[in-house]
Amino acid sequence: MSLSGKRILIAKPGLDGHDVGAKVIALALRDAGAEVIYTGLRKAPDFIASVAVEEDVDAVGLSILSGSHLDLVAETSRQLLALDGGAIPLFVGGTIPADDHAALAEAGAKGIFTADMKIEDVVAAIDAVLS
Amino acid sequence: MTDSAPTAPNMPSSVTPSGIEIPQVVTADMVESDPGLPGEYPFTRGIFPNGYRGRLWTIRQYSGFGSAEETNQRYRFLLDQGQTGLSVALDLPTQCGYDPTDAMARSEVGKVGVSIATLADMEVLFDGIDLSAISTSFTINGTAPMIYAMYLAAADKLGVPRESLTGTIQNDILKEYVARGTWIFPVRPSLRLIADSILFSNEATPRFNPISIAGAHVRDAGSTAVEEMGFTLANGLAYVDEMLRRGGDVNHFAKRLSFFFYVHMDFFEEVCKFRAGRRVWARLLQERYGVTDPKALMFRFGVVCGGSSLTAAQPYNNIVRVGIENMAAVLGGAQSIFTCAYDEAYQIPTEFSAETALRTQQMVAYESGISKTVDPLGGSYYVEYLTDRMDAEITKVIAEIEDYGGAEKAIEDGYLQSRIAQRALERKLQTDAGERVVVGQNHFRREDEDANDFGEVFKLDEKAAGHTVERFNKVRAERDNGKAQQALAKLSQAAAGDAENLIPHMIDCCHAYVSIGEMVGALKEHWGEFQEPVGL
């Protein structure tokens, strides 16, 4: 499994300041060979979409622990579509109840990751979608 | 997690989670320090000679969600059940300085805490609660000075004398840059605001803690217990230096510096973290700053039991975890304790889970008997040995930060942030590999169990955000706008220079129903925003 040659944007939409998960995943993806761009905190969905398109990334990962995931994933997905980035796969990680998984998939999430998943499983799931 | 049946791990490792070697047996000759007496320098055994016999710790459950009305109801419930202090959880727009109608507040109003935009919200929040009789703690940082000002304005309106107010604002911006993320302004003006609030509070509200220097979030972000204490004390020194630059008297202001930590599961390391922290802080203040007043040398702290040590898998196990952590906090000598609810790893607690968490503290306080004598573990060879080792390791961490150029520089450069992220990855990989045992999650997990069955689900009233926005619009429409604009202009003028303390201007703004977002907006015009280092 290798993500070498892949560019991945890890983003924190909304106001949530919990960035450990985002940074841990970013480091793990980098260790798996990907080039990782991290946005930092408090980025609006339209900003995240524009960075994704400008940087020509292969995937976008959103990290959300504030409970606002349904709206923020749907909005990022809409913004990507609006910028002709609809083909870029969108992943989401955070505190996400099982009840919301179907709605998130509908909103465009290609993978949903929670804290109790192993890092290698998360990387493998991203790899499977990208290759 | 494995696909096979639950497997028992090897015997527990012989090092603490911070990496300190644990001897098989500790004997008297391995203990270096004399623990001394409680209430006496360096306070290893506690800051009070009579421990909890004089006064029990404050039972203070962090709580807040939705609108001020809903949160007020939860507060009344908790107080009726025997809680002894309030702890206000605020939503992210309030914490980051956005009004509920701001585009940045999108879908976040009332989510992780209560929305407080103007004095009108605070009046509802404390309706029917006697502010002169209860201490109130606010977990607020970027907008801490404004929330403090609003609390004083609320007290003014209720006729409660300011000098009678007790409580705490977290007001620790340095760790926000490191771990928690609700910073607003760059480091320099943020430190000015903190010094302003400490200087003002020491005179106007002498029984109030204007800062709670927090390691909790750094710990939950992945650092070890040693780093948690080391980083926090290093930040504490940065605040002392800032206060001295502002002409503060350390024998005076240090009496009202308080601290805040997490308690995780390694029982003795947690107990000794607090014993060592108390000693290191007293020693630093005495040796470096020549503090002579014993009260100014006292390391007072509150704790959270739970946090990232809790699991979403088998959530009822968390009740036991929190009980063990609660005992470690008491044996470590905490002044105020918050026990997380068992469902807190994945949702706002239900009334049932919140009550169970409260009952846990009451059992530790009134049934277990561990608070009946001061520092019951004092003199245990192992506890004194580990306290010595923690002292040495904490001191080393502080020295590393100072060698780097101090906490302020380490944070602006992103040095501490990278160090914690790296540590978090290590911890995660250890957990994934099963080296760090988390019962019910990576070991002893039942594969026939629905991992997503969380029991009772908390449902936030979706209309709460609507009520909050309605009240906000109503306040804006009905307030004396001339008075509001005038108060805001004075705050802005004072922020342009550095001669004036900004807190009195903020209190005037709050009385005139100026919102948090308006105050923050006025200050941003002068100071701009913090530029986050995003290197990994």
CB-nearest partner of A14 from B108, B222, B424: B108
Q: Does A74 touch chain B (CB under 8 A)?
A: no
Alpha carbons A3 and A24: distance in angstroms, whole number? 16
Q: Which two tokens stand for residue B434?
A: 């099963």
Residue B309, pLDDT above cutoff 70: yes
Nearest Cα neighbor of B504 from B146, B172, B118 is B146
Please indicate whether, in this complex, the C-beta atoms of B106 and A14 are within 8 angstroms of each other: yes
Q: Does A14 touch chain B (CB under 8 A)?
A: yes
pLDDT tens for each residue of B364-392: 999 999 999 999 999 999 999 999 999 99
Domain annotation for chain B: domains and CATH numbers: 215-371+379-443 (3.20.20.240)
Window 30-69 of A, Cβ < 8 Å to B: 30, 36, 38-42, 44, 66-68
Instruction: Give all strands of the β-sheet with B208-209 in edge-to-edge order.
Output: B208-209, B167-169, B135-138, B85-88, B58-63, B336-339, B300-305, B257-263, B211-214
Window 8-37 of B, Cβ < 8 Å to A: none
Give the number of other Cβ atoms within 10 Å of residue A5's Cβ.
10
Beta strand pairing call for B58-63 and A35-38: unpaired
Query: Confidence band (pLDDT; 50, 70, 90) for B462?
Result: confident
Pick the residue from chain B with its C-alpha nearest to A74. B107
CA distance B3 to chain A (A): 13
CATH code linked to domain A7-130: 3.40.50.280
User: What is the pLDDT, as a whole number, of residue B452?
Assistant: 58
Whether residue B189 has a cis bond before it, omega within 30° of 0: no
Residue B158, pLDDT above cutoff 60: yes
Give the number of other Cβ atoms within 10 Å of residue B480's Cβ.
11
Alpha carbons B84 and B106: distance in angstroms, whole number? 35
Query: Strand locations in chain A, DSSP E?
Result: 7-11, 35-38, 59-64, 90-94, 109-113
pLDDT tens for each residue of B224-235: 999 999 999 999
Please indicate whether, in this complex, the C-beta atoms of A68 and B347 are within 8 angstroms of each other: no
Model's pTM, two decimal places?
0.94
Query: Confidence band (pLDDT; 50, 70, 90) for B453?
Result: low
Please indicate whether, in this complex, the C-beta atoms of A72 and B107 are within 8 angstroms of each other: yes
Are the C-beta atoms of residues B263 and B310 closer than 8 Å to each other?
A: no
Dihedral sign from CA coordinates of B397, B399, B401, B403: negative
Alpha carbons B178 and B193: distance in angstroms, whole number? 18
Are the C-beta atoms of residues B414 and B422 closer than 8 Å to each other?
A: no
Which residues of chain B make contact with A114, given a CB cutoff of 8 A?
A: 312
Q: Which residue has the tokens 């911070």?
A: B18
pLDDT tens for each residue of B487-524: 999 999 999 999 999 999 999 999 999 999 999 999 99
Query: Confidence band (pLDDT; 50, 70, 90) for B450?
Result: low
pLDDT tens for each residue of B210-250: 999 999 999 988 899 999 999 999 999 999 999 999 999 99
Tell me the average pLDDT of chain B: 94
User: What is the pLDDT, as a whole number, of residue B255?
Assistant: 98
Q: Residue B257: beta bridge partners?
A: B211
Give the number of other Cβ atoms within 10 Å of residue B409's Cβ.
15
CA distance A39 to chain B (A): 7
Alpha carbons B218 and B170: distance in angstroms, whole number? 14
Q: Does B112 touch chain A (CB under 8 A)?
A: yes
User: What is the pLDDT, as a whole number, of residue B370?
Assistant: 97
Q: Which two tokens stand for residue B300?
A: 């007072």
Please indicate whether, in this complex, the C-beta atoms of A14 and B428 are within 8 angstroms of each other: no
Query: Confidence band (pLDDT; 50, 70, 90) for B114?
Result: very high
Alpha carbons B257 and B296: distance in angstroms, whole number? 8
Please indicate whether, in this complex, the C-beta atoms of B104 and A44 are within 8 angstroms of each other: yes
Counting residues of chain B whose pLDDT is more than 70, the rounded percentage is 96
Give the number of other Cβ atoms within 10 Å of residue B19's Cβ.
10
CB-nearest partner of A71 from B107, B221, B347: B107
Q: What angle do CA B378, B379, B381 make, to 5 degrees?
A: 120
CB-nearest partner of A15 from B1, B104, B452: B104
Alpha helices in B298-368 (DSSP H): 317-332, 351-366
Residue B272, pLDDT above cutoff 60: yes
Query: Confidence band (pLDDT; 50, 70, 90) for B106?
Result: confident
Residue B118 is given by DSSP the state: S
Quote ipTM for the complex: 0.91
Nearest Cα neighbor of B385 from B12, B6, B25, B81 is B25
Q: What is the maximum span of chain A, computed from C-alpha positions, in angstroms?
A: 35
